[in-house]
Amino acid sequence: MTEHLDALARALPRILDGLLITIELTLGGAAVALAVAVALGLLVRTHNLLIRGAARVVIEFFRGTSLLVQLFFLFFVLPLPPFYLEIEPVAVGIIGLGLNYGAYGAEVVRGSIGAVPREQWEATTALSMTKFQRMTRVIFPQAWALMIPSLNNLLIQLLKGTAVVYLITIVDLTAELNKLRIETDVFFAYSLGLVLYFALAWLLSTGMNALERRATRRLGRGPARRIRRRARAEVGA
Amino acid sequence: MPTEHRTHTGAIELADGDVPAIRFQHVVKRFGDHTVLDDLNFTVRKGDRVTLIGPSGSGKTTILRLVMTLEEATDGFILIDDRPLTHVEREGRRVALKEKHRTEMRKRIGMVFQQFNLFPNMTVLENITEAPVHVLRRPKGEAIRRAHELLEQVGLPDKADAHPSALSGGQQQRVAIARALAMDPEILLLDEVTSALDPEVVGEVLGILRDVAANTDVTMLIVTHEMQFARDVSNRVMMFDGGRIVEEGTPEQIFSDPQEQRTRDFLSAVS
Amino acid sequence: MIDTSFWNWDHAWAVLPDMLWAFLRVTLVVTIAASAIAAVLGLAIALVRRTAPRPVAAVVTGIMNVIRMTPLVVQLLFALYGLLAIGAEVPSIAIAIVVFGIHYATYMADVYRAGIDAVPRGQWEATVALSMSRGRTWRAVVIPQALRATAPALGNYVISMFKETPFVSVIFVHDMVRTAQLYGGEHFRYIEAITLAGLLFLAASYPTSLLIARLEKRLAY
């Protein structure tokens, strides 16, 4: 066991590099995915049939073709004629993950906006709000609270999806685990890997849960923190 | 019908030959901090038709659910046919009985629910024969025959192969009654069985229950808002409030000449 | 001379047979076999979590969460190299099927759990009123109703699994995408192979997801 720990100590800088790449891919991919999800989720709800149709095609395209196909397309096909577009591997990873999971996210956004009660929409009409005001100040904030749990799931899936990018030569955490396996043994290396990924997933979930609590609190669906503390003091808990 | 003795605690005196079907002894039921029943004592004799009336939250439905073992009493003892239902006293302590015993006791008791609770993945016939075949171990042919008899009795002879979703509320409740009767229970519990029905079909369900009351000697414990039905079918009425028996007696006594103010208030509010 | 055209049908036709063959031999086989494992194992996990004594249920939940929240890729690598390390000679495709099956069983266990929770309380109470045994209650009343509610979600997970089968490349199983990649590497022409792979996935998954959506509407009681 000690030899493994020694090897691990030696490999630690590389593993941390790999971990950093994985985190970069996850957060970068998540940012792109969120932007894509909101954009497509809103576009697929407009009355304009053409835009709605186009958005629907884009969503189904990126959901229906597999993640690895998309990554390979960006990595192998684009640099060659006739595109001649060479994108740095990590950027390929971020864009590919963002587009793929963004398409899934679009469905979540669409569903959550649709789940906001009709009365809310009608109230904004009664107050003569513009469409922009309506969406940004009333509808989306409510939809946001509803969509966080599903987005949480997608975020975890995105994190798990990053593990395949070593096939397009990105040296992420999984790539480093493969190297570590050779220096130590299978069980040590991959068990460590599972622990690290699990820890990352747990951290992300905790963050998302906190986000959700904040979002629902702002909507008044749960006691505000200050009042809760005061109430607890009164009861003498 | 057994002779009547009227008290406020529901602990009637048993005459010779009376068999106590249900006996509550110092029953307490708490849900968290909320005490629903507090030291409740009463006796129901075999063949009695007892209606429990009173405001919501008074504990009437809880009593039914305790008898059906859907809830467990926090303290006290419930006896069915003088045998303990869930707990017994041994060496001064209240001891819980094994599940096997409870299952045996449960088989004598049947319940019809406000929401019918028919199994949507089974046909009407399968709903009625499920328990007799698998619990009472009756031969399938016999169970089916009996099911058809019961469907005749409740006025739905041609619905045997229908699914519950295809039936109206009143029809579903009638099937639910048939399903409960198929087990030949000694005690039948009716928990607001018409409250979820449209007014037009309440009558057809109550009619079935009137027939059951007239043609069998099953002990019935009824929670209902239908006062006329209570008058027609019951031989005893108990008025509950705050988990205690406020007043009890015959329907004539309770409905026409209530002694307690709370009873009078309640009856004037619901009539 | 490097081919600089946008699309060359010669390459498309050249790679298509191998890709279709890989699609049948690997992609479909893994999806179907692993889905079967996941559906059954997922139900078993859900039942254990619901009915087993607390410590057992807690352990099962813990293992389930670890598998669910860590990458399938790492699990595949772990399985492949782990088996090699202990000298077991298991065909890679079998490893893929089992690992996919277990991984997706953890998703399906959650779906089953939601389905079981969605069975109305009144159904359980009716089984008590009829003195039905626990086993009979599960088999005749609860599971049939839970399955009806969960079938569409399970179907969607099968489609997800189908689209994740390319991950078997990491344990050197020649699925459709790896076939495309190898062809591309050989001929320096990726666009036809990769595009065809994408279109095949799309052609298989999109209609199926529409069917499942239709099924979901029809299954509501």
Contact B183, B135 (CB under 8 A): yes
**What average pLDDT is seen over chain A?**
88
Residue A43's identity, in one-letter code, is L
DSSP labels for A52-64?
HHHHHHHHHHHHH
For position A222, what pLDDT does the model report? 56
* CA-angle at A160, arms to C212 and A215, nearest 5°: 80
Class of the domain covering C9-219: mainly alpha
Residue B109's identity, in one-letter code, is I
pLDDT grade for A167, boundaries at 50, 70 and 90: very high
Dist CA B125 CA B182 (whole Å): 11
For position B16, what pLDDT does the model report? 62
Q: What is the pLDDT of residues A49-97, one digit of tens each?
A: 999 999 999 999 999 999 999 999 999 988 887 788 888 999 999 999 9
Q: In B, which residues are within 8 Å of C140 by CB distance? A: 119, 122, 130, 134
Q: Can you give the residue ranges of every domain in chain C?
A: 9-219
- Predicted TM-score (pTM) of this structure: 0.81
Other C-beta atoms closer than 10 Å to the C-beta of A81 total 13
Contact B243, B58 (CB under 8 A): yes
Domains of chain A: 2-235 (1.10.3720.10)
Token digits of residue B60: 């009437």
Contact A12, A196 (CB under 8 A): no
Dist CA C197 CA B127 (whole Å): 51
Dist CA B92 CA C132 (whole Å): 33
The dihedral through the CA atoms of B33, B39, B45, B51 has a sign that is: negative
Q: What is the pLDDT of residues C159-204, one digit of tens each?
A: 999 999 999 999 999 999 999 999 988 888 888 999 999 999 999 9
Mean pLDDT confidence for A87-116 = 93
C156-160, long-range: CB < 8 A, 24+ apart: C156/C209, C156/C212, C157/C35, C157/C38, C157/C104, C157/C107, C157/C108, C157/C111, C158/C31, C158/C35, C159/C205, C159/C208, C159/C209, C159/C212, C160/C104
For residue B130, the SS3 value is helix
Residue C26's identity, in one-letter code, is V
Q: For C90-102, b where at least 16 C-beta lie within 10 A, e where not — what string?
A: eebbebbbbbbbb
Residue A153: closest C-alpha in chain C: C69
Q: In B, which residues are within 8 Å of C133 by CB distance? A: 103, 134-135
Q: In B, which residues are within 8 Å of C131 by CB distance? A: 103, 106-107, 131, 135, 183
Q: What is the pLDDT of residues B30-64, one digit of tens each?
A: 999 999 999 999 999 999 999 999 988 888 999 99
Residue A168: closest C-alpha in chain C: C181
Dist CA A176 CA A162 (whole Å): 13
Q: For C167-197, b where at least 16 C-beta lie within 10 A, e where not — what string?
A: bbbbbebbbbbbbbbebbeebebbbbbbbbb
Q: Which of C123, C124, C131 to mutate to test the interface with B (most CBs of B within 10 A)?
A: C131
Dist CA B1 CA A29 (whole Å): 80
Contact B77, B105 (CB under 8 A): no
Token digits of residue A222: 């749960």
